[in-house]
Amino acid sequence: MARTTALNAAWQRLQAEAERLRHRSLHALFETDPQRSARFARQALGFYVDFSRQLIDDEALKHLLALAEAADVAGAREALFTGAPVNVTENRPALHTALRQQTDAPVLVDGEDVIPAIRAQQRRMGKLVARLHAGQWRGYSGRAITDVVHLGVGGSDLGPQLVVDALKEFRHPHCNVGLHFVANLDGGELARTLARLNPETTLFVVTSKTFTTVDTLTNAASALAWLEVASGLPAAELKRLHFIGISAAAERVDEWGIPADHQLRFWAWVGGRYSLWSTVGFAIALWLGMEGFTQLLAGAAAMDDHYRTAPAEENLPLLLALIDVWNHNLLGAHAHAVLPYDARLALLPRYLAQLEMESNGKSVQRDGTPVTRHTAAVLWGETGPTAQHAFYQLLHQGTETIWCDFITAVRADEWALPDVKAHQRLNLANCLAQAQALAFGADHPDPHRRYPGNRPSTLLLMDALSPWQLGALLALYEHKVHASAVIWNINPFDQWGVELGKRIAGELCTQLEKTEDGTEDSSLAPLLNHIRQVMRT
Amino acid sequence: MRIQVHGDTVAALTVAAVLADTGNRVTLLLPDDLSEALLRQRARSEPGLIPLLERVEAAGRLQVTQRDSDLAAEVFIFAMSAERQGWAEALCDEIAVAGSAPCLLVNRATFPIGTSEALQRRIAAQRPCTLVVEPDFISEGRAIESYTRPARILLGCEDEEGVELMRELYRPFNRNRDVIQVVTPRAAELTKFATNAMLATRISFINEIAQLAEACGVDVEQVRQGLGMDRRIGFDFLYPGVGFGGPNFARDVLRLARTMAEQGVDSTLLDAVLAINEQQKEALFRKAWRHFDRNLQGRRFALWGLSYKPNTASVINAPSVPLARALLAQDARLAVHDPAAADAFLAALTEQERTGVAVADTPEQAASGSDGIMLVTEWKAYWQPDWAALRESMRTPVIFDGRNIYTPERVRAAGFAYHGIGR
């Protein structure tokens, strides 16, 4: 009760702060405070985070930090790290932090230390990676595997794909296999991928927490059929040679027919969208090597430590969460754009869209009562330089206020280009220019050419991109999502919202198998009849 | 003539010994990091070379040394291996200041195209020097014969006196008919690379045809005979097998491909030649993989022949090594035999891999208790085995003939399963 009172008081004070600042301009804030851009910037773990272009001042920040305190972010954080069942609707912990822990300090789940099991799976992953790196994983014809297709969807897809794509230049010298990702269930993505591959030398990595995910298992079945047609061998033999299964449900992988030594495990307490740190990141380990994968985990672990121990006013995940709350709940902006000025991070926006919107797109609090405030905003994005030629028009002159995260690496030495520095200067100049233009606008006698300004943004600069830094960046956003969820008092670790559609799809699939028009639900009958008619022709 | 040969190879030893044998005074200078004993040991598998060396050394016409180089010589022959370009450059700098008399530089080493001229310039900056590029066509296993009875002597030289000097030097070997051909230095260098690339191309070509023959149910040996009879094609270097190896062959092809890339010329064909060859080295593995239903765990195989070709102790780029690796990675075990190359073979494996390998004293001992014999290198000793006795001693009687040296019908009649290349 005391907590609720303190929280309400904190929200009320913030409401007043928002009213006070709502009509101030960023221009004026900078003019009255020449130190502003340094004071609203933080440096830690290779990041330089500048949030001086948020419509915020010392007083507002003080009250935002008070809100975090009233919401007991610190307490919730401890519960997260120590394996308490923070995922209340599924009564289990969310221990992605244990997956990347660098020490062997025990982490208990139901009284049992999970670290030894994590290490055992990492060793097994290392062995499978080594066999592929050595060119000694053989397909049915005896030729070495040259291509690995990762089959997974959602959390079992976006994370590994993002990391491999972002760290292309960090390929382990022994990784001579091509990596491919197939997630969509429509068949088109799989067909396009397989068209370029040789069944003799292709290995499939089937990744599904429950090993029942219809998208992934449908793709796996089609991959198997493709191998059967090409080889003329029985399915059981192909499953023995051409598949790795990664799942939390070993018995279902057994049942599907993948031998135990080609299986990798993870656990119920690893959420899908937090799973790239587990064996789900097999493709990452294959690309970077185990050393590179360990670097990625170490970067995330450093951010874990920072989130857990850094003082609130220096705590990067917490500050980013509070900026979201400020814009979304207090200033009334409802969309958030993520804009990497680095083509290597092209997949980051859709990764973060899942992380934020699947975690925090909720309407009830942890106890099931309705929320009284907005939760996750709509998040989307695109690489900045291309988005400048696309939706930036709306950012600058549209009727919606959208707060932006500009993300970039200062050094980009690994590009193999004759004048990489010129590229990077131009890129950084564009990134900073957009932040300036959004913040300060520009007047013009012609209203069509007027820029209102006062549009908030945060600049997130990394010294350079590396496995370690990317690990830290992703953990930064994970913990930001956690801190926001705590403030909104929602459970970020379940996703019941995605179940209903799956169930209805199951029913409709049966309907579509029928060849005759039936007596369906009136909301669907004409549609189904039309589809059947087109399919018949 | 007073000749100084610089080199670290059996070919260098051959050149020095043969030229001393025809009356020249020859010094062979070895690099600091190569022991004379080791080079002499390598020479043992070369027919006739050891007796020749003993003869010319006894006559006082050949001196093998690491130190006292005879820089007063008038002819300097470079016959070092391709990776010793740095040594060659250092030697040129020494020769340049060792005297002022004109000298002749004969480069037999296979350095990148244009290197010979660069070496000459190093000397010519200080003293007059004439360059002759004489590509090394000495064939390991028949070194003396291939040097003294050459099909052609290719000289890359733009100086008449230089050519005359070389004619004089090679007069004893150029009597039957004149086989000397004079071209520019660069043309000579490129000819050497192109020769090896052409031969490699023929091997990969017939290996690709062998795969097709297998798929079509045709014996590639019949096709090979038919091809060879065509005089435009001929029989040489048209044997299907488990791929070419050796220190020079693959490297020359690779280097030529790289030179082409540097010159902006596509090396599509040579890339394919090399890729096919690498695949071919594992051909016997794939046959065993299929024969034993894609599970080789616990199987034992005898490898007959480990060197990259008969009559050499070298396993550089030899198919035996990737073949062994592939088998061991599937938890198979190996018993290997080779008349000369067993030590080099073991040294090419990792410690972990060596635990799965036993070296046998005889081919029969290797075969005993095995699930199959893999003939990798066609040493003469393997051509006529006692099939009945072998069959008795083996656990599973299977012959994997990597060089198509056996007659499939005879082997099958003796109770074996037979797998050849393209048959």
Digits of tens for pLDDT over chain A (537 positions)? 678 899 999 999 999 999 999 999 999 999 999 999 999 999 999 999 999 999 999 999 999 999 999 999 999 999 999 999 999 999 999 999 999 999 999 999 999 999 999 999 999 999 999 999 999 999 999 999 999 999 999 989 999 999 999 999 999 999 999 999 999 999 999 999 999 999 999 999 999 999 999 999 999 999 999 999 999 999 999 999 999 999 999 999 999 999 999 999 999 999 999 999 999 999 999 999 999 999 999 999 999 999 999 999 999 999 999 999 999 999 999 999 999 999 999 999 999 999 999 999 999 999 999 999 999 999 999 999 999 999 999 999 999 999 999 999 999 877 778 888 899 999 999 999 999 999 999 999 999 999 999 999 999 999 999 999 999 999 999 999 999 999 999 999 999 999 999 999 988 988 888 877 766 788 988 898 899 889 888
Residue B276 to residue B283: CA distance in whole angstroms:
10
What's the structural domain count of chain B? Answer: 3
Residue A529 to residue A524: CA distance in whole angstroms:
8
The answer to whether the Cβ–Cβ distance between B289 and A142 falls below 8 Å is yes
Q: Which of A231, A254, A287 is the C-terminal boundary of a domain?
A: A287
Please tell me whether residues B132 and B225 are part of one structural domain.
no
Please tell me whether residues B170 and B213 are part of one structural domain.
no
pLDDT value at residue A519 = 65
Task: List b or e across A338-371, with b for residues whose CB sees 16 or more CB atoms inside 10 angstroms.
Answer: bbbbbebbbbbbbbbbbbbbbbbbbeeebeeeee
Please tell me whether residues B294 and B216 are part of one structural domain.
no
Active-site residue flag, A480: no
User: Residue A326 in contact with residue A60, Cβ under 8 Å?
Assistant: yes
Task: List b or e across B100-110, with b for residues whose CB sees 16 or more CB atoms inside 10 angstroms.
Answer: eeebbbbbbbb
Please tell me whether residues B152 and B60 are part of one structural domain.
yes
Please tell me whether residues B118 and B214 are part of one structural domain.
no
User: Residue B200 in contact with residue B244, Cβ under 8 Å?
Assistant: yes
Which sign, positive or negative, has the C-alpha torsion A204, A207, A211, A213?
Answer: negative
Please tell me whether residues B17 and B163 are part of one structural domain.
yes
Asked, for residue A315, whether it belongs to a domain, the answer is yes
Residue B413 to residue B423: CA distance in whole angstroms:
16
Please give the span between the terminal C-alpha atoms of chain B, in angstroms, as a whole number. 54
Please tell me whether residues A172 and A276 are part of one structural domain.
yes
Q: Is some CB atom of chain A closer than 8 A to the CB atom of B282?
A: yes
Q: Which residue of B has its CA nearest to A140?
A: B294
The Cα-based distances of A52 to A16, A33, A435 in angstroms read 20, 11, 10
Please tell me whether residues A335 and A409 are part of one structural domain.
yes
**Chain B 313-332, CB below 8 Å of chain A: which residues?**
325-326, 329-330
Please tell me whether residues B300 and B373 are part of one structural domain.
yes
pLDDT value at residue A299 = 98
Six token digits for residue B88: 């060659």
Q: Is some CB atom of chain A closer than 8 A to the CB atom of B214?
A: no
Which sign, positive or negative, has the C-alpha torsion B105, B106, B108, B114?
Answer: positive
Which residue among A134, A140, A241 places its CB closest to the CB of B329?
A134
Asked, for residue A294, whether it belongs to a domain, the answer is no
Helix axes A282-309, A73-81, angle to 10 degrees: 140
Please tell me whether residues A210 and A134 are part of one structural domain.
yes
Q: For A531, what's the count of Cα atoms within 13 Å in the CB-facing half-sphere? A: 13
Residues of A in contact with B326 (CB under 8 A): 136, 138
Q: How many CB atoms lie within 10 A of CB B304?
A: 28
What's the structural domain count of chain A? Answer: 3
Segments of chain B scoring below 70 in pLDDT: 68-71
pLDDT value at residue A441 = 96
Residue A444 to residue A448: CA distance in whole angstroms:
8
ipTM: 0.87
Query: Average model confidence (pLDDT) for chain B?
Result: 93
Asked, for residue A88, whether it belongs to a domain, the answer is no
pLDDT value at residue B68 = 64
Please tell me whether residues A189 and A65 are part of one structural domain.
no
pLDDT value at residue B91 = 93
**B411: domain CATH number?**
3.40.50.720
For the stretch B54-79, pLDDT in tens is: 999 999 999 998 876 656 788 999 99
Please tell me whether residues A473 and A517 are part of one structural domain.
no
Q: pTM of the prediction? A: 0.90
Q: What distance in Å separates residue B362's CA from the closest CA in chain A?
A: 29
Please tell me whether residues B19 and B168 are part of one structural domain.
yes
The answer to whether the Cβ–Cβ distance between B289 and A138 falls below 8 Å is yes
Q: Mutate which of B211, B278, B286, B294 to disrupt the A interface (most A C-beta within 10 Å)?
A: B294
pLDDT value at residue B266 = 87
Active-site residue flag, A19: no
Please tell me whether residues A458 and A323 are part of one structural domain.
yes
Q: How many CB atoms lie within 10 A of CB A471?
A: 26
Give, for A147, the enclosing helix (H) or strand (E).
Answer: strand A147-151
**A336: domain CATH number?**
3.40.50.10490
Instruction: Name the active-site residue from A23, A251, A389, A499.
Output: A389
Percent of chain B with pLDDT over 70: 99
Residue B47 to residue B62: CA distance in whole angstroms:
19
Please tell me whether residues A232 and A381 are part of one structural domain.
no
User: Which amino acid, A255?
Assistant: E
User: Residue A322 in contact with residue A448, Cβ under 8 Å?
Assistant: no
Q: Is some CB atom of chain B closer than 8 A to the CB atom of A134?
A: yes
**B215: domain CATH number?**
1.10.1040.10
Q: Is some CB atom of chain B closer than 8 A to the CB atom of A374?
A: no
For chain B, the 3-state helix, strand and coil shares in percent, each to the nearest 5, are 45, 15, 40
Q: How many CB atoms lie within 10 A of CB B62?
A: 26
Q: Is some CB atom of chain B closer than 8 A to the CB atom of A140?
A: yes
Residues of A in contact with B289 (CB under 8 A): 138, 141-142
Please tell me whether residues A457 and A518 are part of one structural domain.
no
Instruction: Name the active-site residue from A200, A356, A358, A382.
Output: A358
Domain that holds residue A153: 105-287
Domain that holds residue B391: 282-419
Q: Which residue of A has its CA nearest to B325?
A: A136
Q: Is some CB atom of chain A closer than 8 A to the CB atom of B291?
A: no
Q: Is some CB atom of chain A closer than 8 A to the CB atom of B294?
A: yes
